[in-house]
Each structure stands twice: as C-alpha cells, then as structure tokens.
Amino acid sequence: MNWLLVIVGAMVGAPLRYLTDRAVQLRHDTVFPWGTFVVNVAGCLVLGLLTGAVAAGHASSHLQLLIGTGLCGALTTYSTFSYETLRLTETGAGFYAAANVVAGVAAGLGAAFAGVSFAQALWP
C-alpha cells in the first residue's frame, strides 16, 4: 500500500513540476533557470511544513509518503538543477551557474527551515 501512495503523489508532482517550470520560464526571458529554482524552493517549503507537522503529531506517515516522498520527490529535481548548472558553465555563463548553486541551496534550506518553523508555530 505504501508504494501506491508514493506513485499517486508522484503522478501529481511530475506534471506539476513540468507545468510550473514552463509557466515560470515563459515569464522570464533569461538564461537563469527560474522554473527549476521555483519548483525546488516550493518543494523544500512543502517538505519542511510536512516534516514539522509529522514531528508535531499532526500528520501521518501515510501523508508523509504521499506528499513528502511522492509529490515533493517528483516536484523537485536535483538532476535538472545539476544539468542546468553544468550547461550554464559550458556556455560561458559562470556567474549564473554560481548564482544558481548558491541561491538554490540557500533558498531551498531557508524554505525548508521556514516550513518547519511555520508548522511549529501552528502546532506548538
């Protein structure tokens, strides 16, 4: 049964990643990979919130599998982040590559911490 929860979450997360990435990239005409940045930070925020809710006893392990492993696992993308950073470097956009790494990691960690903090504020 657990594997089914992961599959259902991923069935929502993967198309959501694609559609969000396309929508964001259409609005930003730049070499910086804003679409991947947005989905990764959003996924970190959701996962942080869910982790905080589970730790407080307000979310089940089944929800953690559905949303955390399934949806967030398919929504976020470390491989695309790595590939886009490599492509930026190869095309001579070293500044954007460095900015992608620093901003992506910092914003992702910040979003995860913010999610956990928000959950702790909701369920002390």
What is the C-alpha separation between 55 and 19, in angstroms, rounded? Answer: 31
CB 34 within 8 A of CB 94: no
- Give exposure, 30-63, as e/b (b: 16+ Cβ within 10 Å): ebbbebbbbbbbbbbbbbbbbbbbbeeeebeeee
Domain containing residue 13: 2-122
User: How many CB atoms neighbour CB 21 within 10 A?
Assistant: 19
| Entry field: residues in the chain | 124
Token pair listed for 107: 């914003």
Given a cut of 70, the residues of the chain with pLDDT beneath it are none
Q: What pLDDT does residue 124 have? A: 84
Tokens of 38: 């947005």
Total domains, the chain: 1
DSSP code of residue 68? I
Phi, psi (deg, nearest 5) at residue 29: -90, 80
- The pLDDT value recorded for residue 45 is 98
**pTM here?**
0.94
